[in-house]
Each structure stands twice: as C-alpha cells, then as structure tokens.
Structure 1
Amino acid sequence: MPPRPTPSSRKPNRRQEAAHKALPKNLDWIPSVSRSSGVLDDNDGDSLKDYTVQETYRRWIDEKLLEYERKGDVGSERSKLDREDIIRRLRKLREGLLASNRDDAFATEVYETSLYLAAAYGVSDQVTAVSAQILPPSRILSPKASAKITQDRNVRGATLFLIMLHHLRLATLSASSLQWVVVALSHPFVTHNLSDSHLCWLKQVVMAWRCGNHHKIWNLTSNQTLDTILLPSLTQGPRGRREMAAFVAEAEGFRCRVREMAWKVTVTAYREESEPWLLRSLSLASDDTSWISTKQKTQEALLVPGDKPRWKLFRSKTSG
C-alpha cells in the first residue's frame, strides 16, 4: 500500500496553483487572508492558503528572525519595530493555516514559534491568542470537547507548560483564568503531557497563590528554579534559547503582577515602614529602591528624611 501523502506533497488544486503563480516576488506585499483585497494578489487573498506558499513564507520569516537575532536587541526603536514585524508576519501566516485547515507538523511548529516569540517579546495579547489556537480553553472546561482533545492535538510538554504559566499570569487579573488552571491540572490531557516536575511546580504556585504566599511565588518563579525544571524539556540551539527567553519573560510578567498585588496589601495594612522591611516584603534586592521610587511618582509612597530611610505609604486614588 503506497504511503499516504503529506499535506505539503499533495497535488494542489487549480485555485492553489493560481495562488502560487500570483505570489509576489517581494513577500512584504503578500496580503493576509483576512484582508483579501490585496492589490498585488489576483486571487483575492488566497496565496497564503496554499501549502507551498505557506512554507516559502515561513522560510522568509525565519530569515527575518535570524537577521534580527544577529543584530541583537539594542533596545532601540528599530529593534522594537523588527519584533513587531516578525509577530505580525507570523500572525498573517497563522491566518493562512486556519483558512486552509492545515493541521500537520508544519502548522504545529508555526503555532509554537508564534507562541514562544510573542511571550519572549512581551506581546501578551498574542500569547493569549496563540494559546487558544493551540489549546482552546473550552477543550478543558467542556466534557464533550475534552473527550476529543487527545485525538487531534499534539502539544509538547514545554509548550503546554508555557500556556499554563500564561494562564497563571492572567489569573492575577481574572479569577476565571485561575479556575481554568485548577481544572486543567486534573485533566488527563494535561497530566499525560506534562512532566511530574512541571505538574508539581504548577500545583505549588496555585497553592501559594490561594494562600497569598507571595514570597513562595517569587521563589518558584526565579530564573534559577525555572532553569532546573525547564532545561531538560527544551530544544537545543537558537530555538531553545528563544523558548527559555519566553519562559523568563512570562515568569517576570507574573512576578510583576504578584508584586503589584503584594503592594496593594501592604499599603492597605501599613501607613509607614522602614525601607529594608519594604524591600524584603516585595522581594527586591537590598539596594534596589527603583521600584518603590516609581510609587513615589504615582503618589503612593513618600520617602521620609532621616538617618534610616523610611517610607510613608498611601493607597492609590484610582484603586478606590
């Protein structure tokens, strides 16, 4: 029996052939599927529905990504624009994947790359969007949908772990996100695909969060702890470095949100405290007052003159 052809080796239909022929030489001008009135596409935005075009466009994005990484992030406006450009092009490619119902190894790699880069670049809304494409939240919460999840989705353990970490970060803004994590941690798909160390870590963070133990959360999300539990599950080379950067960025975003919540508790309970005590309470370095200084600018803290620095604390006028 002859082997089943892969999606990329199947014979394209006439519409796909026409889309491929109409592919502009400058891929900058290829229109997205959602904006099908592209002036340089004679096929009403069908180019990115063609598997061969998708793979060509993916290689082109890779060239852009490698060029950006060779230059390095110098913190300039140009670097920011380059990152936004890469994220935008990956989003355009994902639209083509969805429109063509492509769900093979190539599609999985595109979704995962989009997820990791969006997290590493701090584009939280895109992390949320891609997470939902890889693992729709309803698949965990709905019994009917969850029965199908193990059949049609192959998710790497590290990718699933990043999605869970992102939902924990969202939990600082929405109780429903925390509830999703709690339900997911007992779901067969999650328990089967996550390692024991990942599951244990997530359960410890959830427990610390519910108990209001901010210090434990900061310890669990430290770079040193993440290195220990992540390195065995990440790929090697440039891709592995991107994956680690994504976890570090998500964990830092989570810590920042937890610190803000710890601050609200502190200013509600105390009116004045010593600087060393505040730094310890917020898990800041003993000589790092920059974060508290930002609260001085928002009139939530005031440095009291004296030999031993102390801070007066004020509740934010916008927090009610």
Structure 2
Amino acid sequence: MAYKPPHARAHRVYKPGKRHMELMPSLSRSSGLDKDGDALRDRAVQEEYRAFIEGKVNEHWKRHPHGASGRDVDATKHRQEEQENILILFRKLREGLLATDRKDAFAVEVYETSLHLSILFRSDKQTTSILSHLLPHLYLARPEVPEFTHGALSTTLLSLFHHLLLGYPSQTRFHEHLHSLPRTFLPRDGAAYRWLAHLTHCLRTSNYAKLQELTDRGAFERFFEASTEASGGRGAPVRTGDHSDKPEGARQRAGPYNLALEAMYTLVEGVRAKARATVWLIMRSAYRELHCLPPPVNSSKTGAEEPSPTSEWLARSLALHSLGSTAADVNEMMQMVDEWLAQKCDQGEVKRKEGAEGRWIVCKVAVKV
C-alpha cells in the first residue's frame, strides 16, 4: 500500500472512485486553506490522477473529433473551455511531481504529454512553462538510462519550432534556445539538424521556392519515428489518444498514431502560415497580375488536363498543400489556389479582371470591399 501522510489518510481524495479526483486540490493554491492539500505529493495518488486525466482527454477527443474545426461559436467556446481544464489538471499533476522532485519515466511522460497537448490546444504560455522544466533537466536526470537522452529529440524539435514560431520573423529566440541545449539532444552532424538549418535559412532569405519541400511532412516525420522508438522502452504508463480517438487530422495521416508528431504538425502549420504571409507580401510587390488559366487540353501530348503554371507555382511557393494529405491532383491544386485568391479578393488584396477568366489584378494597397 502506498504511503499516505497521517493527516491525509482519511481525506476524500484517497477514497476509491473517480469522482473524488475531481476534488483534488492544487498544491500551489491550497496552502493555508486546505489541510489535506498535499495529496498530490503521494506517488500512488499521482499515478491515479494521471489515469483520471487520461479519461478526460479521451472523452474530449470523442466529443470533439475534428479539433479546432467548426464554425459553431458555442461549440468552439465549449471545446476551448474543456481544453483549458485539461491543461489545468496536468498543471496540478506537474506541481506534485515538482514538489516531490520526481524525475522517473512517469514524470517524463507527464511532462511530454502536457507539452504535446499544450501545443495542440495552442496554449503558448503553458508550452513555454512546460519546456522550462522538461528541457534539459528531466532528460539529464538519469544519465545511466541512454534512451532518456535519445528520446529528447522530438521534444527538442518541438521546443525549437515553438521558439521559431513565437519569434518570427526574428530567429534570435530560436538560436538562443538551440545553443542552450546539450549537443547530444540535436547532433550537429545529424539529419534533423541539417533539415532545421536549411529551413531557417529558407525563412531568413525568403526562399519561397523551397518552402513547400522543407515543410512537407516527409521532411521531418522520420525524426519523430526514430525518437519514439528510442524512448519506447521507458515504460510510460499511458499515452494520450488511441487509434479510435485521435485529434484533428490524425486519421488522414499514415503510420501509427504519435501525439508528438501531431504537435509538430500544428507548429509547422503555424510557421507555414507566417512564412506564407511574408511570401505573399513579396508577390504583391513584384507582380501586377496573376494568370491562373490552365493550358489548352490539346496542347498536352497526352491529352490529360494540366494545371496552370501560375497555379502550380502559387501552390508550391505559398505551401498551400495540406500536411495531412498526399500530393494533390490537378483539380485539388486549382481549387486550393482559387480559394486562396478568393479569400484575398475578399480582403481587397486582389480583384478579378473583368472579361478575363482566371486573371487577377494585384492590389498594391488593400482595397476595402
């Protein structure tokens, strides 16, 4: 039987039943108010509380299988409230781990899952707070277990992209964080480091011709697969999300479900969106018109439909292809570009050229519609 402090053995949170976990007091907010507020100092209670949170997360995915999608304001508000509550539960648990100086596999799993969910739920403050405790301290706490260091690769990449996204277009935060980490976490002669170096150079130089290629899922997925295999032996008690209840986009992506990889998709999409805005500004300053008509069918040797060279260029340069899909066919690509230009038309940044189908006039100064 797990040890219980004498004054807390009769506390309701120690009694069997899930409903009592709802009453778990926070260590940081119960001091002086709740004499039994230190229940989360007990290791057995910490593990029971982790299983309780897991149930909450799985229920959330069942109710909101499409993540951030949807236009119902009330449903979106309810979803966000649920996500905030889940992050609060994890924060309570981390307080207990910090108070007991717990640095085993269980603690690493709790911090990693907290990190992944904070990214998926787009809580930048939580992400920054979690990273300050997780990297590099928890991974270096047990140097005799090599997979702890090897398993830090996915967390390292997530942390670097988090700082790259928050600081964009400046990369100062990114480089400061990179230099603060042990080189064993991201070897300078490794493929992951070379990919990051190429991507950050692309962003600095506005080399939008390489944007799609360097932010495609195939460019980084293998690093998360290798990290998962390396850390798989840690014996983490539970992993958030199973094959039936996955967050947005997980079902459309190949391979086994990986929460860290889903978090990386979210960050990469965020970097893409910011880079896309920069690329679009460059395009607006450089071009007066965009011609998005496909070439005549009879001009093709095969007779098959071909995309407009301009549409193909726009789709690649603006990285419009979704991370969760394979290469789009001609119709999908044309539709993506049309939707993008229609959105910019609504914002007054382009307008359709009268009497010329597929031609758009670029407005140097946005025109109010």
User: Same fold by TM (over 0.5)?
Assistant: yes
Partner of 2:174: 178
CA deviation digits over 1:152-174, x for unaligned, max 9?
68452222222222223234154
- CA distance, structure 2, for counterparts of residue 172 and residue 103 of structure 1: 33
TM-score (norm 1): 0.75
- CA distance, structure 1, for counterparts of residue 213 and residue 32 of structure 2: 50
Task: Specify the SS of the correspondent of 1:23.
Answer: helix
**1:114 positional shift:** 0.6
Partner of 2:13: 23
1:298 aligns with 2:347: yes
Q: Which letter maps to 2:49?
A: Y
Q: 1:268 aligns with which of 285, 289, 296?
A: 285
Partner of 1:308: 358
Q: Is the 8 A contact 2:12 2:20 kept in 1?
A: no
Q: Which letter maps to 1:290?
A: E
Distance 1:175 1:224, change over 3 A: closer
**1:199 positional shift:** 1.9
Partner of 2:120: 120
Higher relative CO (CA 8 A, sep ≥ 6), structure 1 or 2? 2
With 111-120 and 156-165 compared, the bigger mean Cα shift is at 156-165
- CA distance, structure 1, for counterparts of residue 352 and residue 20 of structure 2: 57
**1:217 positional shift:** 3.3
CA RMSD of aligned residues (A): 3.5
Distance 1:70 1:279, change over 3 A: closer
Distance 1:100 1:293, change over 3 A: farther
Partner of 1:164: 160
Distance 1:297 1:152, change over 3 A: farther
- CA distance, structure 2, for counterparts of residue 203 and residue 119 of structure 1: 22
**1:115 positional shift:** 1.0
Query: Residues 141-156 of structure 1: matches in 2 within 5 Å?
Result: 150=140, 154-155=148-149, 156=151
How many residues are aligned here? 293
Partner of 1:243: 260
Distance 1:130 1:19, change over 3 A: farther
Task: Specify the SS of the correspondent of 1:102.
Answer: coil
**1:117 positional shift:** 1.8
**1:109 positional shift:** 0.9
**1:128 positional shift:** 2.5
1:42 aligns with 2:61: no
- CA distance, structure 2, for counterparts of residue 106 and residue 149 of structure 1: 12
CA deviation digits over 1:105-158, x for unaligned, max 9?
22111000111122233333322222222126xx9xxxxxxxx98466845222
Query: Residues 59-98 of structure 1: matches in 2 within 5 Å?
Result: 59-71=51-63, 73-74=65-66, 75=69, 77=75, 78-98=78-98
Which has the larger share of helix? Answer: 1
TM-score (norm 2): 0.66
Unaligned runs of 5+ in 2: 233-238, 243-256, 293-310, 321-332
**1:60 positional shift:** 0.3
Unaligned runs of 5+ in 1: 1-7, 140-147
Distance 1:259 1:62, change over 3 A: same
- CA distance, structure 1, for counterparts of residue 84 and residue 284 of structure 2: 37
Distance 1:151 1:108, change over 3 A: closer
Q: 2:48 aligns with which of 40, 49, 56?
A: 56
Q: Which letter maps to 1:32?
A: S
Q: Is the 8 A contact 2:118 2:124 kept in 1?
A: yes
